[in-house]
Amino acid sequence: MLKVALPVPRPMLFDYLERDGVAAQPGDRVVVPFGSRERVGVVLECAQASEMNAARLKRIVRVLDGAPRLSAEWLALMHFLSSYYQRPLGETVLSALPPRLRSTRPLPARRTEPPPAPSAACAPLGVEPNAAQAEAIARIAAAFGTFRAFLLHGVTGSGKTEVYLRLVARARETGGQALVLVPEIGLTPQLLARFRAAFPGERIALLHSALAEAARTHAWLDAASGAAGIVLGTRLAVLAPLARLALVVVDEEHDPSFKQQEGLRYSGRDAAIYRARLARCPVVLGSATPSLESWQNACAGRYERIVLAERAVPGARLPQVRTVDLREHRPAHGLAAPLVEAIRARLARGEQSLVFINRRGYAPVLACEACGWAAGCTRCSARLVLHAADVRLRCHHCGREEPIPRACPVCGNLDLRAHGRGTQRVEEALAALFPDARIARIDRDSVRRRGAIEAALDAAMRGEADILVGTQLLAKGHDFPALTLVGVLGADHALLSTDYRAAERLYATLAQVAGRAGRRDRPGEVLVQTRYPQHALFAALARHDYGAFAEAQLAERRAAGFPPWVHEAALRAEAKRLQTALAFLREVAASAPPPPDVRVYDPVPHLVTRRAGYERAQLLVQSRSRAALHRLLSRWSERLYASPSRAVRWHIDVDPIEFD
């Protein structure tokens, strides 16, 4: 008798009988009858008996071939993710597979050449590592064959990627596989090019959500079969089976993009650490601005911290960071005079400048100054963002679009005004100031087409733009040789946020985008426009002293009772009426009183209460004991899955990082 996981929103396995002459083992994908149709499931266990009457059990239809059997180690990872993040095991297992492997359709045709020999890993890797890099490589390589977690704390431009490459080469020399994770799809082209240049004989499996179905399936199969010695991708790559995993690398480990925000809400970074533990191999967490959780783990001795304090390129120095006081230098069209003059100086010297503003679109608000009307989304409690290039109003929460009205819909006033600035408006202002400059805007609106971001970044790196304007897409992982100036707009928004993670994220963003400047022998400069130039965050940034900033933040969080000093989870609910969602949360909280060491807060509406037509609310749970917190969450899950509500959609978010 087989226990089979199916992709259904119920925390249970389904019992099936084997078909005569068809032997199935744990890890096999099987086709089974389920209701009036056939579904693909995964065998998790072979059992002697079933709680159901044997006469009612159905037989499997067939075992699917074409893909390697899922290993016991991979199934153990799925059990952990299901239990920790409070999602049904069947849903967890099947959602971790590429869509094609979850269907009964045959696998796409693929090439069948044998994998390259491990000796191909000995390809040239470029310049020899400096002393700090060599020490880091030696310390981590000494841990091969055992589980150890390393925090590679390297300043921007310190050559962390070179360390990764050398460690991957060590893993490949012994026939092991390496898993390398990056936070965003936009970072994969440049890193993939580095790896292909360093390992020309290797098959590298690239895994991320933007791949075509056939390409993603082929990459997954290459990873699972061992044909790919290197697996590179975003957070979903951590879910790929690897038969001979010898090294795990998580680049930019602090990045919020590693946290999945729908379905199985797992942390790619934390899953990678657990994978390394299962595989008994080292895991390297790399960042110039580590997450406070990782920093505290290093301080407590759970991670081994390795420091790269200097830039790797000879002669390159960290940029000088200065603030521009907006109380003294009133900005014109969002740009203060010192920043404008600094850009003009770079243009005269043939150097590049980057103007960073983490807000796309033309302006965040379109309003009527006669009556006070402002364009809002009818499906969300949020403003519509003006996109001048598309002549549209767009909601950045649900995606709703509307044409720009010719007049105020309330009073008929024709003089509607755009308030605030996004990348499009900054680009327009720069074009007016510097009409002869080549300006390139790089944000999610400008690189929507497949391959557009690679082309835009390649052009910028070749020096085909004098001024870059962009968002987070330009903040990390990119090397622009001629870029010597970074100007930051809108940094104060995060300083005024109610989110306790806002300061940590702002420092990380500013340090990362500042790190784009002066990565060669020409000095770099960073100008941050702010009304709070005396803020301690800017002082730490100017000293490039992340350690002092982290210790101050940890002290504040300890006093306030925030992570990493406590463990958190959020139970969230959506309904057509806010009162329905709030009542649902109160009922769940009352159904299982918390133990003394767990605190359950009252349900409250989300900051963005209405989204895509649903009213949203949440309640927060905290405890210093992770085990006690999960015992309560498990009781809630049992109740919620046992009696599902048709009026309310809900989910549990363990270790949440977003509260909007």
Residues 334 and 475 both lie in one domain: yes
Amino acid letter for position 250: V
CA terminus-to-terminus distance, the chain: 46
| 3 state DSSP class of 6 | coil
Q: What is the DSSP code (8-state) at residue 242?
A: -
Q: 484 lies in a domain?
A: yes
Tokens of 5: 């996981």
**Residues in the chain with pLDDT values less than 50:** 115-123
Tokens of 559: 């006093």
Cβ atoms of residues 540 and 508 within 8 Å: no
| H or E segment and range at residue 343 | helix 337-349
Which residue in 239, 254, 90, 267 sits closest to 653, CA to CA? Answer: 267
Q: What is the dihedral of CA 479, 485, 491, 495, to 10 degrees?
A: 80
Question: What are 90-143's pLDDT values in tens digits?
Answer: 999 999 999 999 999 989 886 555 544 443 434 456 678 999 999 999 999 999
Residues 544 and 611 both lie in one domain: no
Give Cα 324 to chain centroid, integer Å.
Answer: 31
Domain boundary among 308, 335, 357: 308
Residues 476 and 340 both lie in one domain: yes
Longest dimension (CA), the chain: 85
Residues 296 and 331 both lie in one domain: no
Q: What is the CATH number of the domain that holds 636?
A: 3.30.70
| H or E segment and range at residue 171 | helix 160-173
Cβ atoms of residues 239 and 96 within 8 Å: yes
* pTM attached to this predicted model: 0.92
Q: 422 lies in a domain?
A: yes
Cβ atoms of residues 202 and 130 within 8 Å: no
Residues 142 and 286 both lie in one domain: yes
Tokens of 398: 């649900």
Residues 351 and 493 both lie in one domain: yes
Cβ atoms of residues 157 and 478 within 8 Å: no
Tell me if the bond preceding 564 is cis, omega within 30° of 0: yes
Tokens of 230: 């290197």
234-273: b or e for each residue (b if 16 or more CB lie within 10 Å)?
bbbbbbbbbeebbbbbbbbbbbebbbbeeebbbbbbbbbb
Residues 540 and 598 both lie in one domain: no
Residues 150 and 24 both lie in one domain: no
Q: 52 lies in a domain?
A: yes
Residues 327 and 467 both lie in one domain: yes
Residues 544 and 584 both lie in one domain: no
Q: 659 lies in a domain?
A: no
The whole-angstrom separation of Cα 81 and Cα 270 is 10
What is the extent of the structural domain holding 263? Answer: 118-308
Q: What is the CATH number of the domain that holds 184?
A: 3.40.50.300
Q: 193 lies in a domain?
A: yes
Tally the domains of the chain.
Answer: 4
Question: What are 365-413's pLDDT values in tens digits?
Answer: 999 999 999 999 999 999 999 998 888 999 998 999 999 999 999 999 9
Domain boundary among 308, 342, 365: 308
**The pLDDT value given to residue 630:** 97
Q: 465 lies in a domain?
A: yes
Residues 545 and 575 both lie in one domain: no
Burial label for 124, CB within 10 Å (0-12, 13-18, 19+), is exposed
Domain boundary among 308, 329, 359: 308
Residues 325 and 281 both lie in one domain: no
Q: 516 lies in a domain?
A: yes
Q: 354 lies in a domain?
A: yes
**The pLDDT value given to residue 175:** 94
Question: What are 290-310's pLDDT values in tens digits?
Answer: 999 999 999 999 999 999 999
Find all residues with CB under 8 Å of 56, minimum gap 6, and list them: none
Q: What is the CATH number of the domain that holds 58?
A: 3.40.1440.60
**The pLDDT value given to residue 120:** 40
